[in-house]
Structure 1
Amino acid sequence: MTRLIYKDRPVELSPGETVLEALERAGVDAPSSCRAGNCQTCLHRAIEGAPPPESQSGLTAAQKALGFFLPCVCRPTEPLTIVPPDDAGARLEATVRAIEPLSHDVVRLRIETTPFPYRPGQFIELIADEDLRRHYSLASHPEEDPFLEMHIRLHPNGRMSRRLMVDMKPGHRLHVAGPRGTCFYEGVDPEQPLALIGAGTGLAPLYGVLRDALRQGHRGEIRLYHGARDSKGLYLTEELQTLAQTRDNVRYIAAALDPNAPFGGDIAALALAEEKPRLTQTAYFLCGGENLVRRLKRDLFMAGASMKAIRSDVFSPA
Structure 2
Amino acid sequence: MPELRVGARQWSVAAGSNLLDALNRNGVAVPYSCRAGSCHACLVQCVQGLPSDSRPDALTADQRQQGWRLACQCQVVEDLQVHTFDPQQDGRPAQVAAVDWLSNSVLRLRLTPERPLRYSAGQHLVLWAGNVARPYSLASLPEEDRFLEFHLDCRQPGEFSDAARLLKIGDGIRLGELRGGALHYDVDWNTRPLWLMAAGTGLGPLFGILREALRQDHQGAIRVIHLAHDADEHYLAKPLQAMAANRANLSVELWTPAELPAALAQLRLVSRQTQALLCGAPDSVDAFARRLYLAGLPRNQLLADVFLPRG
TM norm. shorter chain > 0.5: yes
- With over 3 angstroms needed to count, the CA separation of the structure-2 counterparts of 1:186 and 1:177, relative to structure 1, is farther
Residue matched to 2:259: 265
Gaps of 5+ in 1: 1-26, 34-39, 47-81, 258-263
Q: How does 1:7-156 map to 2 (within 5 A)?
A: 45=60, 82-84=62-64, 91-113=91-113, 114-130=115-131, 132-156=132-156
Cα 1:291–1:188 shift into 2, 3 Å: farther
CA distance in 2, matches of 1:30, 1:309: 36
The CA distance in 1 between the partners of 2:304 and 2:265, in whole Å, is: 16
| Matching of residues 159-170 of structure 1 within 5 Å | 159-166=159-166, 168-170=167-169
Contact 2:199 2:285 in 1 (8 A): no
In the other structure, the counterpart of 2:302 is 310
| Residues 1:127 and 1:244: Cα distance change in structure 2 (over 3 Å) | same
Structure 2 residue aligned with 1:9? none
Q: CA RMSD in A?
A: 2.9
TM-score by length of 1: 0.68
Cα distance, 1:155 vs. partner? 3.4
Q: Percent identity?
A: 35
TM (norm. structure 2) is 0.70
- Whether the aligned pair in 1 keeps the contact of 2:293 and 2:299 (CA below 8 Å) is yes
The number of residues matched between the two structures is 241
Matched residues in 1 for 2:283 and 2:294: separation? 16
**DSSP 3-state at the match of 2:189:** coil
Pairing of 1:149-298 with structure 2 (within 5 A): 149-166=149-166, 168-180=167-179, 181-186=181-186, 188-257=188-257, 264-266=258-260, 270-271=263-264, 273-274=266-267, 276-278=268-270, 280-298=272-290
After TM superposition, what 4+ stretches of structure 1 lie above 6 angstroms from structure 2? 27-33, 85-89
Task: Report the Cα offset of residue 278 of structure 1.
Answer: 2.7
Whole-Å separation in 2 of the counterparts to 1:161 and 1:41: 30
Deviations 1:170-201 (A, max 9, x none): 11111112321131113642101100001111
Which residue identity lines up with residue 124 of structure 2 in the other structure? F
For residue 93 of structure 1, report the CA deviation from its aligned partner: 1.0
Q: Which residue of 2 aligns with 1:64?
A: none
Q: 1:232 to 1:190 in 2, by over 3 A?
A: same
- Shift of the alpha carbon at 1:249? 1.1
Query: Residues 296 and 304 from structure 1, CA distance in 2 versus in 1: closer, same or farther, beyond 3 angstroms?
Result: same
- Structure 2 residue ranges without an equivalent (≥5): 1-47, 71-84
Alpha-carbon spacing, 1:172–1:265, altered in 2? closer, same or farther (3 Å): same
